[in-house]
Structure formats: structure tokens, C-alpha cells
Amino acid sequence: MAETRSLDPVVDATALTTLAVSDVMDPLWKLELAGWSAMSFTGGQTRPSRLATVLKHLIASVIAILTLIWLSLRHRGTSASEARALFSEANSVFALHGENSTRTRHLRSALAEAKLASKTVLLLGRPTSGTATAARALDPDNTLGKARFVRPVTLGSVFAGLPEAIRLLARGAGEVSRFRGPIAFRALLAIDFRMALGSAHACWWRKAATGLPVNSALFAHTGTADTSQLEQAMHAQSTRTVHLVHGTNIGWAFAGMSDVAVYPSGADARLGAKLPAYGRCMHLPLERPAVAAGNGDWALLTSYTHLQNPSFAKLGSRPDCELVEWVRAVADSHGQDPARVLWRPHPQIDLVPDNERERLEQAVSEAGFTRWPADLPYAALGEFSVAVSAPSTVLTDGLRLGQPVIIASLTPFQRDALYASHPLLIESVTGLHEAIAQVTNPKLRQEAFVKAWRAIEPGDRLQIGPLLAQI
């Protein structure tokens, strides 16, 4: 069995990003530029021409302001007076982008289960449709029932926020010139737009909520200039803000200004606490379950083939195809029937280019694996004797189900993320063979599960009532 290509791991991406933004002083700009650096792995690169960067920023600033004015005029938002009537009845509000995605589903699901007298939802993000349409995009199955949806921006708040927006954008000329890394024009345009939108959010909140008893605001996603300025306005009104983090912490891309950040695991929270961001980083403690015995089947979950994976733009589905080959080879050596290896792709499999999806599906077909049945719930992950996944939240999901998931890394990964502390992290087909031998031995399986649980500390599932009591 051939070994994989030699990896060039990112030793400490968080430290590299910290270096890249070390000269950036404004906290909003630091968060935005650090988030860009963390997601695009530009930290520590040679600084580009300052003049060119500043010129791009100035052009982007003008376009951003004009775009915000146009979108606010076209799609409108919720008037402050209408929102005040809702806020007067709400002890807590919930802030989500108007989309059905991984960064909204965790809070939407918890909110759907919550027994609350009122559910007031702030719809965040760039206004590209009316409020009702954005609400349907967030909640296509109407799980939130009688929730009231509010878009916290109007044309009036955009103009009221322009002086602050212009001040922030003017300051940005110096900040982007001090950023130690390249930044694309499209990224600058997005940041500049969020700066202007955030100023409008802040003006809107001050007018809509001043003097009202909104004690807490729970956010599905924070850390960008639009959400952070909204949070700053909330803090000024004594509203406590909480970021309910939706995925594995990769450092600066998961940093923000919330009073509290609730991470999916203790390992994620520990990384978050290293950054000069949230007031408090925590996870929801969970009692360790018994290790699952296993039913003889194997599970393979691939996740490199999705649009937000940093390696996908460069490598496409090749890492996932190689992982399929690893599992096929080890299944053969263990005498495992390939038909009893169930393959589950990342949920974005239908969004990637057809040729990349087809290449991965062809690799699975040639290996003889079975596609995960549509009616088999994700929670069935805990029933398998072997579960192999590329780096993803499958690790913590599996541990909560009693499954000692094997994490297979085939591309460079961030060495201060939780995967590095996982005792079942493998980076070669030989390592996979040894890990599968371990989890199929009952005694060694138990030992590996306990070690993994202690290293990762998976958090409990999100429940609004208990969470509000803890924060």
C-alpha cells in the first residue's frame, strides 16, 4: 500500500495570522483582516504594495456605500418603531443570516425547540431580498412557527450611519496598508460593505431598542464588521451578546466581540481563549457516553469536496478520492466486505462542479462502497464499528454518540486546531490500518475513546433555556 504524498502542515496558523495583523490597531479592521488571513492562509506572506492596496480600498469603499444605499432602497428593512413594539415584549433576541446553512441551522434548530413566550429574530447579512423572503430562506420548513422576523437596517439608518461608516472606511486606508499580506479586491469590497452596513445596524439598534428590556442577544455568526458594530450598540444598552459557534474553531476566523462565545468543544474554547477577542470562551459540559460496540459496518465520511474547504479550490476532490482508496485498501486487508462500507459525502456535494462530484462518486463506485441511504439518520454514525472522516465536525458529533472517529488528514491542516490533539488522527494509509486495528479491538477501542473524549471535550447540544441560565 503506497503512502500518501508528503504533507507540509501549517504549524500554527493562528500565530501566523496574529503576525499578519500585528500592526492593525482598529479592532473591527483587525477582526476582518485576520478572518480573511485565516480563511485564505495568507498570514506571514510578503506585504504587497501599500499604495496599490490603499487605492483598491478607496475604490471599494465608494462602491460599498453606493451598493448599501441601493440595496436598502430596493429591499427595505424593519422600521425602528415597528421593532420597538416587538422588543418591548422580548427578554432575548436571536440574530441569524437569512439563509439555510451550517452557520444558521444550529441556532435555528435550538430556537425551534425552545419554549419561549416570543421569538424575535434579527435577519443579518447583505439585504438581497425582502424580509419575508429572507425569513423563508432561513426557515424553509417553517420550524420557527410564529417567530417575528426583523431586518435591522433601513434607508434612514444607512444615512444616519454614514458619518461613522466614512470614518471607519477612512481609517481603513491606513489599516489595510499595515496588513502583512495580500488581499483581493473582492474581499476588500466585502469588508468595506460590512463596515458600512454595521454602522447602519448600530444606528438602527439605538433607535429601536434604547430603554427596552432586551437582556441578551444570541448570534449564530459574529466576528465581522456588521455584526460587531451591532453588538457594540447592544453592549452600550446593557444587552449581553453571545456567539453560538457553529463549527470547529480555526482561530481568528472564529473570533469576535461577543461577551460570551459558546464553542462545540472544550478544545475549541481553549483555542478561542488564546485570542484577544471574546469576553469569555466556554462549551456546554456533557457527560461521557459509553463507547458504542459497533455493528460490523464501516462508515466513510468525506468532506474535502465542498466549497468552503481551503484545499478544494486547489485540489478539488482528489484528497477525498485518495481517502476512498486508503479505506478500500485497508478494508481489503481486514477482510471487510466493501458493500458494508457506507459512504456519506459532505452536504455540499451537489453544489460543487459536476466533474469533481463525478470523480469522487466514480472512486466510491470503483471501491464497491455503498452510498449512505437517504433514510438513514446521521445519528446512526454511533452504530458503526469503524468511522473514518476527513477533518470536520464529524469528530465531535461522533464522540457524542460513543463513536471513536478516526480522522484522516490528507492535506496541510492547522496544527493548533483540535484535530492535532486527537489520538486517532492519521496521515497515511499505514496509520489508517493501525487505527482501524485499534478501534476494532474492544479493549483498545474503549481506551482510544476515553483518550479522545478527554482531549476534545465535546460539548452538549444547544438548548436555549439551559444556555441562558448558564451565561
Domain boundary among 257, 283, 309: 283
Please indicate, yes or no, whether residues 344 and 228 belong to a single structural domain of this protein: no
- Model pLDDT, residue 181: 86
Please indicate, yes or no, whether residues 271 and 335 belong to a single structural domain of this protein: no
Q: How far is CA 40 from CA 6, 208, 332, in A?
A: 21, 37, 38
Q: Which domain does 328 fall in, by range?
A: 298-456
Q: How far is CA 201 from CA 4, 157, 237, 281, 312, in A?
A: 49, 7, 14, 25, 34
Please indicate, yes or no, whether residues 268 and 390 belong to a single structural domain of this protein: no
Please indicate, yes or no, whether residues 318 and 439 belong to a single structural domain of this protein: yes
- Model pLDDT, residue 2: 38
Please indicate, yes or no, whether residues 279 and 303 belong to a single structural domain of this protein: no
- Model pLDDT, residue 160: 98
Query: How much of the chain exceeds pLDDT 70, in percent?
Result: 96
Half-sphere exposure of 377 (CA within 13 A, CB side): 7
Structure confidence by residue, pLDDT tens digits, 122-136 = 999 999 999 999 999
Please indicate, yes or no, whether residues 214 and 357 belong to a single structural domain of this protein: no
Please indicate, yes or no, whether residues 305 and 356 belong to a single structural domain of this protein: yes
Question: What pTM was estimated for this model as a whole?
Answer: 0.89
- Model pLDDT, residue 6: 41
**Is 465 inside a domain boundary?**
no
Please indicate, yes or no, whether residues 309 and 275 belong to a single structural domain of this protein: no
Mean per-residue pLDDT of the chain: 93
Half-sphere exposure of 95 (CA within 13 A, CB side): 26
* pLDDT tops 80 at residue 45: no
- Model pLDDT, residue 107: 97
Q: If you average pLDDT over residues 87-111, what whole number do you get? A: 94
User: Is 214 in contact with 91 (CB distance < 8 Å)?
Assistant: yes
Domain boundary among 219, 251, 283: 283
Query: How much of the chain exceeds pLDDT 90, in percent?
Result: 83
Q: If you average pLDDT over residues 274-294, what whole number do you get? A: 95
Tally of domains within the chain: 2
Q: If you average pLDDT over residues 390-413, what whole number do you get? A: 94
- Model pLDDT, residue 43: 46
* pLDDT tops 80 at residue 179: yes
Please indicate, yes or no, whether residues 196 and 302 belong to a single structural domain of this protein: no
The least confident of 25-29, 36-40, 158-162, 393-397 is 36-40
**Is 144 inside a domain boundary?**
no
* pLDDT tops 80 at residue 9: no
* pLDDT tops 50 at residue 4: no
- Model pLDDT, residue 41: 59
Q: If you average pLDDT over residues 178-194, what whole number do you get? A: 94
- Model pLDDT, residue 328: 98
Q: CB-based contacts of 464: which residues, under 8 Å, 6+ apart? A: 92, 110, 111, 113, 114, 116, 218
Q: Which three cell numbers stand for residue 468?
A: 441562558
User: Is 207 in contact with 221 (CB distance < 8 Å)?
Assistant: no
Position 406: which residue type? I
Please indicate, yes or no, whether residues 277 and 337 belong to a single structural domain of this protein: no
**Is 118 inside a domain boundary?**
no
Q: If you average pLDDT over residues 441-450, what whole number do you get? A: 97
d(Cα 184, Cα 189) in Å, to the nearest integer?
9
User: Is 154 in contact with 204 (CB distance < 8 Å)?
Assistant: yes
Label residue 86 by pLDDT band (50, 70, 90): very high
**Is 116 inside a domain boundary?**
no
* pLDDT tops 80 at residue 229: yes
Distance, C-alpha 109 to centroid of its chain: 16
**Is 468 inside a domain boundary?**
no
Q: Which value, in Å, is the radius of gyration of the alpha carbons in the chain?
A: 23
Structure confidence by residue, pLDDT tens digits, 351-392 = 999 999 999 999 999 999 999 999 999 999 999 999 999 999
Q: CB-based contacts of 31: which residues, under 8 Å, 6+ apart? A: 223, 224, 225, 228, 252, 255, 256, 257, 277
Domain of residue 359, CATH code: 3.40.50.2000
- Model pLDDT, residue 40: 77
Label residue 5 by pLDDT band (50, 70, 90): very low
Domain boundary among 283, 317, 334: 283
Please indicate, yes or no, whether residues 163 and 231 belong to a single structural domain of this protein: yes
**Is 362 inside a domain boundary?**
yes
Q: CB-based contacts of 334: which residues, under 8 Å, 6+ apart? A: 436, 437, 440
- Model pLDDT, residue 118: 87
Label residue 13 by pLDDT band (50, 70, 90): confident
Please indicate, yes or no, whether residues 198 and 314 belong to a single structural domain of this protein: no
* pLDDT tops 50 at residue 319: yes
Q: CB-based contacts of 278: which residues, under 8 Å, 6+ apart? A: 243, 255, 256, 257, 258, 259, 260, 261, 272
**Is 123 inside a domain boundary?**
no
**Is 1 inside a domain boundary?**
no
